[in-house]
Amino acid sequence: MGAVAVHGWTGRILCVDLTTRESRHEKIPAEFLQAYLGGRGLGVRLMRDWYRLDPFDPAMPLIFAVGPLCGTPAPTAARLSVVSRSPLTGTIYDCSAGGRFAWRLKAAGFDALVVTGKSATPVAIAITPSGTEIVDAGQLWGKTVHDAVTALAGRGSVAAIGPAGERGVLFANIMMGEGNSVGRGGLGAVMGAKGLKAVVANGDQPVVIADPERFGKARQDVMRLFRASPVIFGELGIGEYGTPALVDLMRQRRMAPTDNFRRTVFEGSGNYSGPAIRRDFHAKKDGCYGCPIQCKKSTPAGEHLPEYETVSHFGGLNGIASLASIVKSNTLCNELGMDTISAAATLSAWGEARGSFPDGEEVLRLLADIAFRQGDGELLSLGSRRVAEALGRPELSMSVKGLELPAYDPRGAYGMALAYCTSNRGGCHLRAYPISHEILRKPIATDRFSFSGKARIIAIAEDTNAAIDSLVACKFSFFGATLEEYAELLSATTGIGYSPQDLKEIGRRICLAERFYNCDNGFGVADDTLPERFFLEPGSSGEGVEIPPIDRARFDEELQKYYRIRGLTPEGMFADRDFLVKQP
Amino acid sequence: MFDQITAYTNKLVADRSALPGEIAIAAQDDVLIVDGNPALAQLAGDVLARLSCLGLVAARSSLPFADFLVARAPRKESFIIPRDTETRTFLHDIPFLRREEMGSDPASVIARLLGSRKGVVVEGVGIVASGALTIEQAYINYSSVFHSTFVKYLQDVLHDGFVLPGEAESFAAFRRDWLRPLSADGLAFRCGPLADPAVILHEITTVGRYTVERGLVDSFFGNISCRAGDVIYISQTAASLDALAGCIDPVPMDNSSTFGITASSELLAHRRIYEVSGAATILHGHPKFAVVMSMECEEVGCTVTDCWKECDRVRMLGDAPVVAGEIGAGGLAKRVPPVIAGPRRAVVYGHGVFTVGEKDFAEAFRAMVEVENWCREEYFRRVAERLKIGP
């Protein structure tokens, strides 16, 4: 093991084995930290010996990893990534979430918490500067996220699962105490399978910045770019309206998924637009700890209001125009600890299969059934792919690699179409986030109806975002700032010179490691594709905008370009079986 | 991608920021593509192959200002810091590479510099700029460096005079041969009030193109809008003023819809200007001499250190008030509206010019021409006065 850097990282992992109820500290080799940064990258590296395990194998690690900027005043950097293997998709999986928990974990002296094993009875892990304790959580088992967080709040910042995670719902979340989600891939179910109800962190050690003056200047540069960005601090941006600011835009671009992606315009979407939410629920600014953007919104009473993906999927995707109903669905998912995108998309696929989409009241009943795995919820808890297969209609699952597609119809943005398929965690919009340039014109506009150049753009963006997820910063920062400013923040924090190009190369290493894990677990070109609907059926054309089916030949051509850029075979595999062992 | 390479090569020639025949553009999809001047194309390809970027422009600037800035810089310096808002906000600084620092593998050295910044000045070669996602982005970054080095050199000459052999002659040639008279003569504007949306969109597109064709602004430096009733029609963020068709958002004045999230970052300023001035049109651009002159503050004993943001004084450039304020939510939208209603024009420190029209774009366009012409004349007057050189 090499020397551990003094600044930015703690150089230590907390390892907790729930089977033996033992915990220990391990040093992290400095070269790991410098080569993978933290967060997603560090977690992916730490998974190297474990990625083949079944997600519910007790030996499967569940990794909570912070980044070198966590604990500093770097904008949007009080975040962590949770990494493991997804029970929903079978892929390597990570998810980034904000909140005090990340900061408290690092302040306890750790860059990562690695949980393995399985407790015979429900437990919580309590981490303090003076030690780690595994405490009985039997009285919390079955409680909602809110109740569990409230019960543990006196011990520190909480990450907890709800009933859905306890019962193995394949899209169960881990919820941060302030309401942020570790969502999509079902890592809440991994946590539940370990008998782990919650983790509480209560560290108080400050992070020392190597060059405070350089850091301060870089921070000013970031904030200036935030102020210059119409998406972030513009009067119609996410700072004002949250991500539902996108509702009107997606409607106008005719790419709002409706009726399980059969259509791309929902006439009732104005009911849940950003201005409508502000008007009807008196939305106030809310957000992650330490974040200046404050893109989350809540009611004056503190109820978290839904984000864009949630309003769109509990809205148009299921043909529901009632904002009140959508807000209830969102709150229920948060309480039960379930991913809103996958829950709503699974209900939508199920609804199409049976011939009618659920209405608002039925959605609420079904969500509860899913979380408790009862009635129709037993099947629905498995996610849309397994539901559609069980119903003999596999084509109705609007997912890639089993992960339900979010609220950007790929027929309206061809980079998004490609990125859904190359994403290492399945149909996710955030891996390459082409909506940024195809729709929001940041940092530059690209033609959303063209594949030209998109393979390279997606590869670069995947690398960039992998680095961002490893710092760990919020991707919304990059509607304004760039890696230039964040490389400065990182260099100033650690005292080690990083350039944007360095960060992109680190990101590439992370993406390829993830891809290698997936390939080794049987994923290949056949998995890198969209549901047939997008190649066969048009979206909702009109108002001078045509939404034709995606040209499959052109899509395949661009996918092959992506493989060549990534150094993969035409089957999307690694020609070099030793690729992984050559990496740090 | 060859069509894009051709298009942006032509733009570099048309906007006169690069010398014809001394332009190369490289792009990489799954293969590397280069086109243009053979030597520069070789360099562009070699640099781009080392970067995680899609596009790269390498071209010899049409003016020697960037090279002069390098030669004038102290030997220990490795970058220049223009004071204009573009640099301050987006570029931060501009690294340069001296002739003697290029070594045997200049592409490697340039790639290292471009690994940290969007553009670099390579002495004796030109400006090399990358674009992470598109060729257009590389073109924009090239233009940003050209704009920033132009502004800084003019400022430096005004303050420090000529210090290198040949500078005075080049400066005179620049004034005599490169600069062109600015005017609105011969341009056709639709008479207001403008009410038909289709007419408004067409007129915005036309006037945006005029600003570029007349050399008033560079293509993507600015924004333009027209108010009709309760709707502001405004150019989108990151849109080129000479290619606005399909890039104009109709935004309700009452914020009842958010699809204007893609509108210009100066939407808030436009809205407030409309609210206080009764104007029907707004034109905003970054004409270079106005940018230079906006930073020529002669206040003595001033304690403000962040002039772009914190200065609360209103200075005058001719009949145009000058105020501080950063882009977007950075203060510009608070300081411009109170001063623009009367003179129908305002200059923002280090940034650019806002002008308004009561009924249509003719007044706004002419006002911008007047501001820039006044600043140009004033600049050369001050240079002559301080350096004791003739016109």
The string of pLDDT tens digits covering residues B193-239 is 999 999 999 999 999 999 999 999 986 789 999 999 999 999 999 99
Q: Which chain B residue has its CA at the smallest distance from A443's CA?
A: B238
- Classify domain A413-479+499-584 at the CATH class level: mainly alpha
CATH number given to B197-387 = 3.40.225.10
Cβ proximity of A173 and A165 under 8 Å: yes
CA distance A432 to A458: 6
Q: What is the pLDDT of residues B291-313, one digit of tens each?
A: 999 999 988 899 999 999 999 99
Report domain extents, chain B: 2-156, 197-387
Q: With beta carbons less than 8 A apart as the criterion, state whether A371 and A338 touch.
A: yes
Task: Compute the Cα dihedral for A218, A222, A227, A230 and give only its sign.
Answer: positive
- Third-level CATH fold of B2-156: L-fuculose-1-phosphate Aldolase (3.40.225)
Taking the Cβ of residue B46 and every Cβ of chain A, the question of whether any pair is shorter than 8 Å is answered with no
What is the maximum span of chain A, computed from C-alpha positions, in angstroms? 64
Contact flag B328-A564 (C-beta cutoff 8 Å): no
CA–CA separation, A196 and A173 (whole Å):
13
Q: Where are the beta strands (DSSP E) in B167-285?
A: 222-228, 231-235, 248-252, 281-285
pLDDT at B374 over 60: yes
d(CA A49, CA A112) in angstroms, rounded, equals 16
Considering only CA atoms, which of B154, B173, B181 is closest in space to residue B382?
B154
Euclidean distance between CA atoms A162 and A142, whole angstroms = 7
pLDDT of A2 reads: 41
**What mean pLDDT is predicted for residues B375-386?**
96
A561:B327 CB<8 A:
no
What distance in Å separates residue B153's CA from the closest CA in chain A? 24
For residue range B7-20, list pLDDT tens digits in order.
999 999 999 999 99
The contacts of residue A334 (CB under 8 Å, 6+ apart) are A145, A146, A175, A179, A181, A304
Provide the shortest C-alpha distance from residue B164 to chain A (in Å).
Answer: 33
Does the CB of A463 have a partner CB in chain B at under 8 Å? yes
Among B51, B88, B248, B259, which would you mutate to test the A interface (most chain A Cβ atoms within 10 Å of its Cβ)?
B259
Hey, what long-range contacts does B74-82 have (CB within 8 A, 24 or more apart)? B80/B121, B80/B149, B80/B152, B82/B148, B82/B149, B82/B151, B82/B152, B82/B155
Give the containing element (helix H, strand E) for B188.
none
Determine whether the interchain pair B328/A233 forms a contact, defined as Cβ–Cβ distance below 8 Å. Answer: yes
Which two structure tokens, joined as six digits, stand for B322? 């000058």
Over residues A130-138, the mean pLDDT reads: 96
Q: Which site among A444, A504, A554 would you substitute to test the B interface, given the most B Cβ atoms closer than 10 Å to its Cβ?
A: A444
Q: What percent of chain B has pLDDT above 90?
A: 94
Q: Name the average pLDDT for chain A.
A: 96
Q: Within the 263-292 window of chain B, which residues sit less than 8 Å (CB to CB) from chain A?
A: 263-265, 267-268, 271
Side chain identity, residue A202: N
Nearest C-alpha of chain B: how many angstroms from A365? 32
Domain A236-405 in CATH 1.10.3720.10? The answer is: no
Where along chain A do its domains lie?
12-201, 236-405, 413-479+499-584
Interface with chain A: mutation pick from B89, B90, B262, B267, highest number of A CBs within 10 Å: B262
Contact flag A561-B29 (C-beta cutoff 8 Å) = yes
What DSSP state is assigned to residue A170? Answer: T
Report the residue from B115, B262, B268 with minimal CB separation from A249. Answer: B262
Residue of B nearest to A444 (CA): B238
**pLDDT at residue B33, rounded to an integer:** 96
Structure tokens at A228: 């210059």
For residue B306, the tally of other CB atoms under 10 A from its CB is 11
Distance CA(B59)–CA(A63), nearest Å, equals 49
Task: Supply the ipTM of this predicted assembly.
Answer: 0.95
Listed in sequence order, the residues at least 6 apart from A178 whose beta carbon sits closer than 8 Å to its beta carbon are A98, A99, A100, A288, A289
Q: Say if B2 is an interface residue toward chain A (CB within 8 Å).
A: no
Token pair of A370 as six digits? 């899913």
pLDDT, one tens digit per residue, over A324-378 is 999 999 999 999 999 999 999 999 999 999 999 999 999 999 999 999 999 999 9
Summarised one tens digit per residue, pLDDT across range B83-105 is 999 899 999 999 999 999 999 99
Does the beta carbon of B88 lie under 8 angstroms from any beta carbon of chain A?
Answer: yes
A235 Cβ under 8 Å from any chain B Cβ: yes
Of B29, B259, B327, the CB nearest to A456: B29
- Res. A4: pLDDT tops 60: no
* B2-156 and B197-387, same CATH topology: yes
Query: Within an 8 Å CB–CB cutoff, is residue B107 touching chain A?
Result: no
Provide the pLDDT confidence category of residue B389 given band limits of 50, 70 and 90: low
- The answer to whether the Cβ–Cβ distance between B261 and A237 falls below 8 Å is yes
Predicted local distance difference test score (pLDDT) of residue A3: 43
CA angle centred on B34, ends B29 and B37, rounded to 5°: 165
Count of A-B CB contacts under 8 Å: 160
CA–CA separation, A122 vs A143, rounded Å? 12
Please answer yes or no on whether B52 and A461 come within 8 Å at the CB atom: no
- Whether the upstream peptide bond of residue B343 has omega within 30° of 0, thus cis, is no
Q: Check CB contact of B1 with chain A, cutoff 8 Å.
A: yes
Chain B, 9 to 38: residues with Cβ < 8 Å from chain A are 27-30
Query: Given this model, what pLDDT does residue B236 score?
Result: 96
Looking at chain B from residue 218 to 237, which residues have their Cβ under 8 Å from any Cβ of chain A? 236-237
Confidence of residue A179 (pLDDT cuts 50, 70, 90): confident
Is the CB of residue A229 less than 8 Å away from at least one CB of chain B? Answer: yes
Taking the Cβ of residue A495 and every Cβ of chain B, the question of whether any pair is shorter than 8 Å is answered with: no
Quickly state the pLDDT bin for B358 (edges 50, 70, 90): very high
Length of chain A measured in residues: 584
Candidates 3.40.50.720, 3.40.50.2300, 3.60.9.10, 3.30.930.10; correct CATH number of A12-201?
3.60.9.10
